[in-house]
Structures are given as structure tokens and as C-alpha cells.
């Protein structure tokens, strides 16, 4: 059977391929330390796991659930947005729980893109925006980010281009992989830009509570709901990546469009997961303080490691990665540098080039490993 043409528009996800290689090295007895992947190794709040367990005996626990999530979860999301971002949302119409924000990228794209439509995507950026765009027959239109402009798009330059076919623009601040932050004034500018060019902006915001003193939502900007959606996630904020819990927020009309797609794709989120998610969202800010104390210690060690590798980094970033520039004297590509480290030191980090051409010459270190392991990596590099 010949598969659909669309599957030739994408390749197997880098991590799916590379982690197979890493696993085969582990199977051969190599003591690999994985600093590549952003899957939190820490536990979710205990109350979350307790809530899931307790929910299993509820009468409704095993039935199909509402396509929009249970009202209690939507209320918890709206309260969380009010408390942490000072954004008012109507829980009934402006909030849609998702099974991870990654699926939201597909649902939003399916709701808004026709074949041949263009989509503004950051280079470097999260590869899923590109794959989903291509799978739908739409066309990625990359905007370059660089260290000189603090990894923020140059909106003046973009405005001079032909944007007539652009329907969506993905932004993601705090930015993955660089950790760059956006200011309120940048968000104001991008909302003005979106209104002028009739583009729907989506801010993908899963990192705002990691090593960040000022969590910011694009929806806190006046008039943002007219032209912007925000994706968020419990994966990183509450160490719940495997739970697959995220959400999309925005104007009721936009959420309706996304729901129209989503309700034809799944039949609701497992009840226990929703009950656990509610407990996570209700946690007070001391949760983030404790979490960030751990990440801060790890990040210091990663900085030490990056320095040992003669890499340069910006200390003023957020999120759960350190983005580092390879040394001037290095002649290897990012991928070759990563492979050298993998095969000579049994350490896996992520090459910046998988995030786009602008990521060439950089590598990304994850903070999802214990201090002991990072110290071990430092020892291996010194040896």
C-alpha cells in the first residue's frame, strides 16, 4: 500500500531516531548520561498523584469525558491564569484543555490552515511547528532569530515582506531552545503587527515558570484576544510531561474553531488526569520556588560544564535548557560536535541545528538530570 504523499513532507523526529542510537549504546554497556532531552526527571506534587489515585473509584472515572474538559478543570485553568498572569478568562468559552500542548499545535493548524497558506515559524524553533505545517500542505515561512537581536523577531523587517498568504505566526517565549524572554512591549508590538497584517499569533508558553521571575502571557496585552491564542502545559511546570496535559486559551470564537477539530479527534481526557491537573494548578507559588531552587543549582553546574567545553552562554535566560555557542576554534558542525561527545565521553547533548539553520554552531544542554550526573559529566570532560 502506498502511503499518503504527506508523509514524505516530514522526517522521523530527531529524538526518535537519535535516542534509538543512544539506547543501543546503553545496551552495549556504555554509561551514557543524557543531557539531551527536556523530560523532567523530578516528581509531580504529591497531591496530584493522590488526586489521580482517589479519582479512580469515582463513579464517572471510566466513562467518556466532556470534549471540553470537566468544568472544574476549566475553572482551575482560568483561576491559574488570573493568579499567575493577571489574565481574565471565561472558563466556559475561552479555555480548552488539551492532551499536551503538542496536540494543540496540530488542532490549531487544522482549524486555520488550507493548503498553500503560509505560516511564520522561528528559526531556531520547536520543530513541531514546521512538521505540522508541512503535513497539512501549508508552507513554513521562517523568520530568523539571532543572539544580536536577543532571539526576538525583527517585525519591521518582516512587515516589508509579502505577508498576504500568511495566516498563522508561531512564537514561543520564553523561547525554546535559546531561553530568551519577551517583554510586555514586544508582545504589544506583535499584537499591533498581527492586527495590521491579519495574522493569528500563537504564543506557545510551556516554560514561563522555569527559572523566570516574571511569567508573562501574551493574553495580558490589551486587545490580544482578538488576534492571539496561547498554548500552555503542565509538562514542565509540574513535572507532568507523561500525563499529557495542556491547554489553549483565547477568544471564544477561536476556541470554538479549535474545538470543532479536536472534538472529532478524541473523546475527552481521562478523568483522573483532569483531577490531578486541577490539584497541580491549585498549588501555591512555593511549588515553583522549590522547583527553581533545584534547577538553579543544576544550571550553575551546566554553566561550569559549558565553560569547560569552551562554549559561551547567556546567563539571563529562562526555561529548562542552557543554550551555548560552540567555541570559535571549533571546526565541527553542531551534530559532529555532539557525536564526538557521545562517542568519546558517553554524554548526549542536543545539536542546535535540529532547531533550524540558525541553531548551527550551538548546542543545548537539558537541566533534567541530577547534580551528581552533571558533576560526573564534568569529571569526564576534565579527564
Q: How many residues bind ligand PLP (CB under 6 A)?
A: 13
| Closer by beta carbon to ligand PLP, 126 or else 193 | 126
Check if the beta carbon of residue 99 is closer than 8 Å to that of residue 244. Answer: yes
Instruction: State yes or no: residue 241 binds ligand PLP (CB under 6 A).
Output: yes
- Spatial separation of the C-alpha atoms in residues 382 and 54, rounded to whole Å: 49
Give me the half-sphere count of Cα atoms (radius 13 Å) on the Cβ side of residue 179.
24
Instruction: State yes or no: residue 38 binds ligand PLP (CB under 6 A).
Output: yes
- Spatial separation of the C-alpha atoms in residues 215 and 209, rounded to whole Å: 6
- Spatial separation of the C-alpha atoms in residues 183 and 173, rounded to whole Å: 9
Length, in residues, of the chain:
383
Q: Return the residue of 109, 178, 217, 235 that touches ligand PLP, per CB under 6 A.
A: 235
> Which listed range, 4-12, 50-58, 96-104, 355-363, lies at the site for ligand PLP (CB under 6 A)?
96-104
Check if the beta carbon of residue 330 is closer than 8 Å to that of residue 337. Answer: yes
Q: Return the residue of 101, 318, 334, 358 that touches ligand PLP, per CB under 6 A.
A: 101
In the complex, least distance from residue 210 CB atom to ligand PLP, rounded to whole angstroms: 11
Which residues, numbered 201-230, are part of the site for ligand PLP (CB under 6 A)?
Answer: 204, 206
Strand partners, 200: 168
Check if the beta carbon of residue 313 is closer than 8 Å to that of residue 322. Answer: yes
| Closer by beta carbon to ligand PLP, 52 or else 163 | 52
> Which listed range, 98-106, 178-186, 325-333, 368-376, lies at the site for ligand PLP (CB under 6 A)?
98-106
Closest CA relative to residue 249, chosen from 195, 208, 189: 208
Residue window 147-186: x/- pattern of binding to ligand PLP, with contact defined by CB under 6 A: -------------------------x---x----------
Strands 312-313 and 321-325: antiparallel
Instruction: State yes or no: residue 233 binds ligand PLP (CB under 6 A).
Output: yes
> Which listed range, 95-103, 184-192, 265-273, 341-349, lies at the site for ligand PLP (CB under 6 A)?
95-103
Instruction: State yes or no: residue 84 binds ligand PLP (CB under 6 A).
Output: no
Q: What kind and span of H or E run contains 242?
A: none
Q: Return the residue of 126, 143, 287, 295 that touches ligand PLP, per CB under 6 A.
A: 126
Q: How many CB atoms are located within 10 Å of the residue 249 CB?
A: 27
Strand partners, 321: 366
By CB under 6 A, name the binding residues for ligand PLP: 38, 100-102, 126, 172, 176, 204, 206, 233, 235, 241, 246
Amino acid at each position: 500500500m502506498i502511503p499518503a504523499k504527506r508523509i514524505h513532507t516530514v522526517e522521523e523526529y530527531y529524538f526518535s531516531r537519535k535516542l534509538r542510537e543512544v539506547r543501543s549504546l546503553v545496551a552495549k554497556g556504555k554509561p551514557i548520561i543524557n543531557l539531551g532531552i527536556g523530560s523532567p526527571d523530578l516528581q509531580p506534587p504529591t497531591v496530584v498523584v493522590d488526586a489521580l489515585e482517589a479519582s479512580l473509584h469515582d463513579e464517572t472515572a471510566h466513562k467518556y469525558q466532556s470534549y471540553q474538559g470537566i468544568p472544574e478543570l476549566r475553572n482551575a485553568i482560568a483561576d491559574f491564569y488570573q493568579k499567575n498572569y493577571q489574565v481574565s478568562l471565561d472558563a466556559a468559552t475561552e479555555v480548552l484543555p488539551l492532551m499536551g500542548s503538542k496536540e494543540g499545535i496540530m488542532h490549531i493548524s487544522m482549524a486555520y490552515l488550507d493548503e498553500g497558506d503560509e505560516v511564520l515559524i522561528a528559526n531556531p524553533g520547536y520543530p513541531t511547528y514546521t512538521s505540522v505545517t508541512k503535513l497539512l500542505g501549508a508552507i513554513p515561512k521562517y523568520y530568523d532569530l539571532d543572539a544580536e537581536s536577543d532571539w526576538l523577531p525583527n517585525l519591521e523587517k518582516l512587515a516589508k515582506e509579502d505577508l498576504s498568504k500568511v495566516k498563522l505566526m508561531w512564537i514561543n517565549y520564553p523561547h525554546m531552545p535559546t531561553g530568551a524572554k519577551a517583554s510586555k512591549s514586544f508582545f504589544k508590538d506583535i499584537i499591533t503587527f498581527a492586527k495590521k497584517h491579519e495574522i493569528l499569533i500563537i504564543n506557545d508558553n510551556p516554560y514561563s515558570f522555569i527559572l523566570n521571575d516574571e511569567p508573562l502571557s501574551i493574553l495580558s496585552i490589551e486587545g490580544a484576544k482578538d488576534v492571539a491564542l496561547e498554548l500552555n502545559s503542565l509538562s514542565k511546570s509540574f513535572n507532568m510531561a507523561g500525563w499529557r496535559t495542556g491547554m489553549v486559551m483565547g477568544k471564544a470564537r477561536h476556541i470554538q474553531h479549535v474545538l470543532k477539530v479536536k472534538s472529532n479527534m478524541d473523546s475527552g481526557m481521562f478523568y483522573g488526569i483532569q483531577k490531578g491537573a486541577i490539584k497541580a494548578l491549585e498549588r501555591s507559588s512555593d511549588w515553583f520556588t522549590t522547583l527553581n531552587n533545584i534547577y538553579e543549582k543544576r544550571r550553575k553546574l551546566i554553566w561550569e560544564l559549558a565553560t569547560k567545553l569552551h562554549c559561551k552562554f547567556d546567563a539571563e535566560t529562562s526555561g529548562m535548557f542552557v543554550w551555548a555557542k560552540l567555541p570559535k576554534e571549533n571546526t565541527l558542525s553542531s551534530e559532529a560536535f555532539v557525536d564526538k561527545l557521545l562517542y568519546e565521553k558517553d554524554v548526549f547533548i542536543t545539536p542546535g541545528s535540529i532547531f533550524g539553520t540558525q541553531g548551527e554552531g550551538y548546542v543545548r544542554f537539558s537541566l533534567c538530570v541530577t547534580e551528581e550526573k552533571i558533576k560526573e559529566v564534568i569529571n569526564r570532560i576534565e579527564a
